Amino acid sequence: MSGNVYNFWVGFEPRQHAAFQVARDSIRANLISPSQIYGVVLTELQRAGLYTRPTEESLGKLYDVRSTTPDYNGEMSTAFAISRFFVPMLSNLKSKRDPDKDFRGWAMFIDCDVMVRAPLDRLFEKLEPKYALYCVKHKYEPSAGQKMDGCSQSIYSRKNWSSVMIYNCDHPANDALTMDVLNHWPGRDLHAMKWLEDDQIGELDPAWNWLVGEQTEPQGGAKAVHWTLGGPWLSSLRNSPYAAEYQRYIERWAA
């Protein structure tokens, strides 16, 4: 499908600039077709009046007020914890502002702590338009405690399904992601993809979102490495799996 334009959105976390650059550059390195790559930046969405969820900050951590329960303080482990679900809306807005470019169709979101290692063009060729969204349907429950940067390890339905997603922005089911839903639903319901029916969610090969330290590595190697517990940008994890590849991206970026 050479010649198609694909759209990619990488979650931006201010504490992880280097990881963001690696995620972006690894996407670009594994495409032969033209692509548009953007950051999902919380402060930009807030300034634009799109993201209106009440958010509090304390000791360098962000808290989503609407997600707070008696058992959960609403801590957001990243700035894009909820803004990732704005991608279909953002793609639609870009289409309206720049009609000469196609921002609709398929749009991929990845966490900034993900490094792509396989040809994305081949992945996109296999997508079926009957699905509103594709992801790796992880079947695991992480241990309670902390993950990277001292953030709490929150437990919720379909944990980590939303860390690598491919939205079908033309699918009518995603029209349910309205401003009201995006800004009022608790984060756990968005991460559980409750705006979709189960049969509207397509399944990616587990190699497209391998959780380092949480799962056995897929046979043949990971196609997308996800350092969900922290990665090579942390001094304590410099020897993480695929850290050498990560470092090569860093060296090219810094050159």
Structure tokens at 243: 């850290």
Whether the pLDDT of residue 71 is over 60: the answer is yes
Mean predicted confidence (pLDDT) in 2-24: 87
Phi, psi of 85 (to 5 degrees): -80, 0
- Amino acid 142: pLDDT: 65
Structure tokens at 189: 């319901």
CA distance 159 to 181: 20
Cα distances from 17 to residues 41, 91, 250, in angstroms, run 12, 23, 11
- Amino acid 103: pLDDT: 56
Whether the pLDDT of residue 163 is over 50: the answer is yes
Q: What is the average pLDDT score of the chain? A: 90
How many helices, marked H, and strands, marked E, lie in the chain?
7, 12
Whether the pLDDT of residue 229 is over 70: the answer is yes
pTM: 0.91
Cα distances from 76 to residues 20, 124, 162, 179, 210, in angstroms, run 17, 30, 14, 20, 22
Residues 6+ apart with CB under 8 A from 253: 18, 21, 22, 25
What kind of fold does domain 6-206 have according to CATH?
Spore Coat Polysaccharide Biosynthesis Protein SpsA; Chain A (3.90.550)
Nearest-5° angle of CA 13, CA 4, CA 35?
25
Please, where are the H alpha helices in 10-52? 17-29, 42-47
